[in-house]
Structure 1
Amino acid sequence: MQSLWSGYGEIARYYSPRLNHSIIVKHISPPLESIHPRGWNTHTGHQRKVKSYQIEANFYRGYASLCDDNCVVPQLLAEFSDKQQQLLVLQDLDQAGFLLRKDQASMTDVKSAIRWLAYFHARFLQHQSDDLWPVGTYWYLATRQDEFDVMQPGKLKNAAQAIDTALNTACFQTLVHGDAKLANFCFTEANEIGTIAAVDFQYVGKGVGVKDLVYFLGGCLNQDDLVKYEATLLDDYFSLLKGALQHYQINVDFKHLQQEWRSLYAFAWADFYRFLLGWSPSHYKINPHMQKQTQSALASLSI
């Protein structure tokens, strides 16, 4: 079906006569020499990718079964690993009705993904997760020192540690998907809000839910749409999160949670902007809206 990032293996579909249905096999086999699309071929990057697949196996093994129809993920059927390679045998979401992958999102698609994120974040709020990343997302500062080192000097670089600390020491922590882009969501043909599943849990770990939200919106919406729809979609997220917490019967001071995560929304933008400035400073996702949110975060730090 597709190769893994930097040639680290493949994802393939097989048919099982015994089970009488298809299965997905994610085969991780790191190359002797990795070829990164943007030239980041470092030992640190290699170790991070290898660990990410171990983390993903831990998620499917210990957490996927806790997800219900409101935040659908593929279930783990079998696994194998040795020092050289790893196999994850997963439920085929196509067979479960999640047939569509999209490279452009309608507003219905955006709202479906926001709903999935809200229920996923509610399900794992304050959940113990010692075998996942201590901080979710693939761009978090402690794992991106190479990129940080090549950033141009400036206010954001000076504030990077403070921004990271503010996000990571928040009172309310959940599991964040960590790579919540449109390509990692699978849709049904019904085209209704809620008919969606998510894949690729290599960077799942602790964090504030708005990190996933910022990353998703920044990847799906252009500058004009961010300005036009962001406030409404942020309200939708918190409304859905409140309902999801009630659904899972999680007793929490929601007013305090919402206040904290809203206050960290601009920080989440600034955190991702920091990564992009080191990794790919001409990246298409960098726009005036991201820069404005970053300035808001810096202003709240008085930097």
Structure 2
Amino acid sequence: MLINQLKTIINDPNLEKVETVQMLWSDYGEIARYFSPLNNKHFIIKHIDVPEDIEHPRGWNTPLSHQRKLNSYQIEKSFYQDYANLCPEACKVATPIASLVSDEQLVIVMEDLDYAGYFNRVVDADMKQIKSVIHWLANFHGYFFNHDGQGLWQQGCYWHLGTRPDELKAMAAGRLKDNASAIDQKLNDAKYKTLVHGDAKLANFCFSQDFNKVVGVDFQYIGSGVGVQDLAYFLGSCLDSKDLHLHHNELLEEYFSTLKLALKRYHRGVRAQQVINEWQGLYAFAWADFYRFLQGWSPSHFKINAYMHKQTDLALAQLQKAK
């Protein structure tokens, strides 16, 4: 039984499950809180136990999507095992404790962020909270700049074209579908790469009491990419079209100024401005790439808005100009 294995790992025969924090996507398992009386500590256990009958809220329960999810949990285990302890305080993640792997299940044991002081979750973020996450992203991208990402996805982000042929096929005919490969290639051909979180939505960040510090969670789709892929996806997860237009310059300046400092701190030989120049030019392509996914996956999704349309039009115009 799982509980007996966990008692051995944590070295406490009285370890007990406190609560289920949340069920995983499509009922692939759960995230649960456990308490160890002997250590007087709480732990978070991510338990992947694949169901026999797989369901998906939007019907995308294909063999390809199933294998992608299985791979994603292995990737996350690799991240916590090989990368998490490398992260500096400016882009902190949960401290890994242990992991278990078998044919039937995968278990990741990590520190409980609630009891480490990161107990706030945000649904409707203000500018202070948004900038706290932007600082985390910029430092994460700066620290892992030019990293080979061994054991992680060769191409980060859960929506990237290579893993979404079903959604591409489902797209309505048009310029975006026609240019899907060109947009993907533009991002892949970037000279400057880093490790991207790959699912950097607001819900995947835990905040400190004063909201000045954050911790990123859920690293199933971490891999190689350009930082603005995370930035665009994050901003789209917490701002509507009006606020995206209103705060566009301010938030991009916040990200790139922080990235510049991070690159200088962690990689003194890197010409930070060259990285910034390239990634600024790819920001619109990051939006267009995610829009391509949404058009096939859920064409009426609430995240599709005028700002996304504008950025996509900018990317398509650049492609047309280059022909």
Q: Which moved more, 1:269-278 or 1:226-235?
A: 226-235
Distance in 2 of aligned mates of 1:284 and 1:3 = 23
Question: Which has the higher Rg, Structure 1 or Structure 2?
Answer: 2
Corresponding residue number in structure 2 for 1:36: 56
Query: Which amino acid is the alignment partner of residue 226 of structure 1?
Result: L
Corresponding residue number in structure 2 for 1:280: 298
1:275, CA displacement in angstroms? 0.1
Distance in 2 of aligned mates of 1:297 and 1:154 = 14
Per-residue deviation, residues 118-169 of structure 1 (Å, max 9, x unmatched): 0000010001212100111000000000000010111111111011011011
Identity across the alignment (%):
54
1:250, CA displacement in angstroms? 3.9
Per-residue deviation, residues 22-48 of structure 1 (Å, max 9, x unmatched): 000000011111110111110000000
Distance in 1 of aligned mates of 2:44 and 2:242 = 38
Corresponding residue number in structure 1 for 2:79: 59
Per-residue deviation, residues 162-182 of structure 1 (Å, max 9, x unmatched): 110110110100000000011
Corresponding residue number in structure 2 for 1:19: 39
Query: Which amino acid is the alignment partner of residue 27 of structure 1?
Result: H
Q: Mapping of 1:153-172 within 5 angstroms?
A: 153-172=173-192
Report the TM-score, using the length of structure 2 for normalisation.
Answer: 0.92
Distance in 2 of aligned mates of 1:267 and 1:250 = 28
1:232, CA displacement in angstroms? 1.1
Query: Which amino acid is the alignment partner of residue 294 of structure 1?
Result: T
Q: Is the 8 A contact 2:99 2:109 kept in 1?
A: yes
Distance in 2 of aligned mates of 1:191 and 1:238 = 21
Distance in 2 of aligned mates of 1:227 and 1:122 = 26
The total of aligned residue pairs comes to: 301
Corresponding residue number in structure 1 for 2:264: 246
Corresponding residue number in structure 2 for 1:121: 141
Query: Which amino acid is the alignment partner of residue 171 of structure 1?
Result: K
1:14, CA displacement in angstroms? 0.3
Distance in 2 of aligned mates of 1:23 and 1:106 = 30
Corresponding residue number in structure 2 for 1:95: 115
Q: Mapping of 1:121-160 within 5 angstroms?
A: 121-160=141-180
Corresponding residue number in structure 2 for 1:180: 200
Aligned Cα root-mean-square deviation (Å): 0.9
Partner of residue 74 from structure 1, selected from 94, 116, 137: 94
1:199, CA displacement in angstroms? 0.3
Query: Which amino acid is the alignment partner of residue 246 of structure 1?
Result: K
1:191, CA displacement in angstroms? 2.7
SS at match of 1:302: helix
Q: Mapping of 1:221-236 within 5 angstroms?
A: 221-236=239-254
Distance in 2 of aligned mates of 1:30 and 1:229 = 42
Q: Mapping of 1:190-201 within 5 angstroms?
A: 190-192=210-212, 195-201=213-219
Distance in 1 of aligned mates of 2:211 and 2:179 = 42
1:189, CA displacement in angstroms? 1.3
Report the TM-score, using the length of structure 1 for normalisation.
Answer: 0.98
Corresponding residue number in structure 2 for 1:271: 289
1:251, CA displacement in angstroms? 2.0
Structure number with the higher helix fraction is 2
1:246, CA displacement in angstroms? 2.0
SS at match of 2:177: helix
Distance in 2 of aligned mates of 1:281 and 1:80 = 38
Distance in 2 of aligned mates of 1:178 and 1:93 = 21
Q: Mapping of 1:283-298 within 5 angstroms?
A: 283-298=301-316
Q: Is the 8 A contact 2:264 2:272 kept in 1?
A: no
Distance in 2 of aligned mates of 1:251 and 1:55 = 30
Corresponding residue number in structure 1 for 2:129: 109
Per-residue deviation, residues 248-280 of structure 1 (Å, max 9, x unmatched): 244211121111101100000000000000000
Query: Which amino acid is the alignment partner of residue 4 of structure 1?
Result: L
1:188, CA displacement in angstroms? 1.1
Unmatched segments (≥5 aa) in structure 1? none
Higher relative contact order (CA 8 A, sep 6+): 1
Structure 1 ranges of 4+ moved more than 3 A: none
